[in-house]
Amino acid sequence: MQTTLRHRGETGYHAGQSAELCVARDYEQRGYTLAHLRWRGAAGEIDLVLRDDDGLVFVEVKKSRSFAQAALRVTPRQQARIFATAEEFLAQEPAGNLTNLRFDVALVNAHGAVEVIENAFGHG
């Protein structure tokens, strides 16, 4: 039983990593530059940090069987963690908290299709 649970956890972890790379490619094809993959601060982790001419985009990637199921996995607690982690990241930016930014959520379904919700949290 414990082996089965560990295997499921490992499978989920690898599926999540694959989804993040898929989303990073999607953004890069649209002209963004990947600044960091899984950037970690004291408050937590941000899946993707991307740059374009306008500033930064912090992206939370969620994978599930459908886009709707993936969207339901973004909780208010996660949003707060992402905001706190982004604030840590901004401390190292030349413009600090004045950096132009937005928070996106990228949903990945069971077929590997990507749907991006720009400015998903209404900040930035």
Question: Would you call 113 helix, strand, or coil by DSSP?
Answer: coil
Q: With contact defined as beta carbons under 8 Å apart, do 51 and 64 qualify? A: no
Residue 123 lies in a domain: no
What is the CATH classification number for the domain harbouring 88? Answer: 3.40.1350.10
- How many of the other CB atoms lie within 10 Å of CB of 108? 23
pLDDT of residue 14: 44
Find the domain containing 52 and state its range. 2-117
CA neighbours within 13 Å on the CB side: how many for 56? 24
pLDDT of residue 11: 47
The pLDDT tens digits along the chain (124 residues) read 566 656 555 544 545 678 999 999 999 999 999 999 999 999 999 999 999 998 999 999 999 999 999 999 999 999 999 999 999 999 999 999 999 999 999 999 999 999 999 999 876 5
Residue 69 lies in a domain: yes
Residue 124 lies in a domain: no
Sequence-ordered strand ranges (E) for 1-124: 33-40, 45-52, 55-63, 101-108, 114-117
Cα–Cα distance, 105 to 67 (Å, whole number): 11
The total of structural domains in the chain comes to: 1
